[in-house]
Structure 1
Amino acid sequence: MTSTRTGSVTIDVEAGLINITDVVRAPIKAAWTCLTNRRHIREWWGDHVDLELHPGGAFEELWSDPEGRRARAFGTVHEVSAPFTLVLDWREDDWPYTTIVVLRLRDLGTSTAISVTHKNWPTPADDAVRDTMARHYHAWKTALARLKAYAAAPRAAAD
């Protein structure tokens, strides 16, 4: 586990778990809106992401991999408890397994702790799963950093 002043990171390949926590300098309602509202998602994550924010709703992210091949992550929303919890399953087209993503927000007054837990990775993990987990760790770190910067901006907090 690695910790910083404002957050922490846990990658446990043997347990099939990635957990990243950081603090967003925005009240919980603003942070939730930035995390879940389509217009805001397009600003910090990109216009290649769609989220239907209700149980049974769809999630989809489209991108090109480093070799230029189109790739897709997709899933179904299982739980929405605004402004605290969003749970969805996560698959990619070439995966024979499904993982679970849990996003939890904790009210810190003028700031919000956001925890991303990506779990249910296959165990024991082979080299391909280890590589995929490492890529997702970096992708979640990048996404959370972009959300953190976006949510702290006055334009995001105005909604």
Structure 2
Amino acid sequence: MTKQDVKIERVFDAPIQKVWEALTNNEQMKQWYFKLPEFKAEKGFEFRFYGGRKDGIQYLHVCQITEVIKEKKLAYTWRYDGYSGDTLVTFELFEEGNKTKLVLTHEGLETFDLSNKDFASSNFAEGWTSIVNVALKKYLEQ
């Protein structure tokens, strides 16, 4: 890991199967993640979506799944159309009794044009923290 990488760990009061479904079922993902037009947890599948700060530029995210190990690991590339830089987002799941530990890593952020403040690692840390610790937690534990 580099100092730019983001790593978030969280234990959810939910079984691993439920967490996996939340990470890979597009209808469930729409409840806590981005509103993806289409998503399949299959190696090589590419998905795109727009996102950004509510009051800022909406960037076209281009992602491609690189690894799927059912109920253990989901990884995909993450880049922005028209901008330099390629990164990797990895979700890893670990069973802890009836609970599930999720480890999210977003690496390669230093490949982005860091003169664009939207691509600062602090923004990714803030975004992933909110997604994992607030949105996903609320979805899984409601």
| Alignment TM class, shorter chain as reference | 0.7 to 0.9
Corresponding residue to 2:96 among 97, 108, 115: 108
Cα deviation, residue 134, structure 1: 1.0
The 8 Å contact of residues 35 and 147 in structure 1, kept in 2 or not, is answered as no
The 8 Å contact of residues 77 and 89 in structure 2, kept in 1 or not, is answered as yes
Q: Percent identity?
A: 22
Q: 1-side partners of 2:10 and 2:115: how far apart?
A: 28
SS of alignment partner, residue 135 of structure 2: helix
Cα deviation, residue 22, structure 1: 0.5
After alignment, is 48-57 or 144-153 more displaced? 48-57
Corresponding position: 1:147 with 2:132:
no
Q: 1-side partners of 2:14 and 2:56: how far apart?
A: 36
Q: 1-side partners of 2:37 and 2:125: how far apart?
A: 18
Q: TM-score, normalised by structure 1?
A: 0.77
Corresponding position: 1:83 with 2:74:
no
> Which structure would you say has the larger Rg?
1
Task: Return 5+ residue gaps in structure 1 as ranges.
Answer: 1-10, 154-159
Q: 2-side partners of 1:74 and 1:49: how far apart?
A: 12
After alignment, is 20-29 or 53-62 more displaced? 53-62
Match of 1:35 in 2: 23
Task: Return 5+ residue gaps in structure 2 as ranges.
Answer: none
Match of 1:71 in 2: 59
User: Cα RMSD between the aligned structures?
Assistant: 2.4
The 8 Å contact of residues 31 and 112 in structure 1, kept in 2 or not, is answered as yes
Match of 1:19 in 2: 7
Corresponding position: 1:54 with 2:42:
yes
The 8 Å contact of residues 50 and 61 in structure 1, kept in 2 or not, is answered as no
The amino acid that maps onto 2:123 is R
The 8 Å contact of residues 90 and 104 in structure 2, kept in 1 or not, is answered as yes
Cα deviation, residue 52, structure 1: 2.0
After alignment, is 101-110 or 68-77 more displaced? 68-77
Cα deviation, residue 91, structure 1: 0.3
Cα deviation, residue 17, structure 1: 1.5
Counting matched residue pairs gives 140
Match of 1:122 in 2: 110
Cα deviation, residue 59, structure 1: 2.7
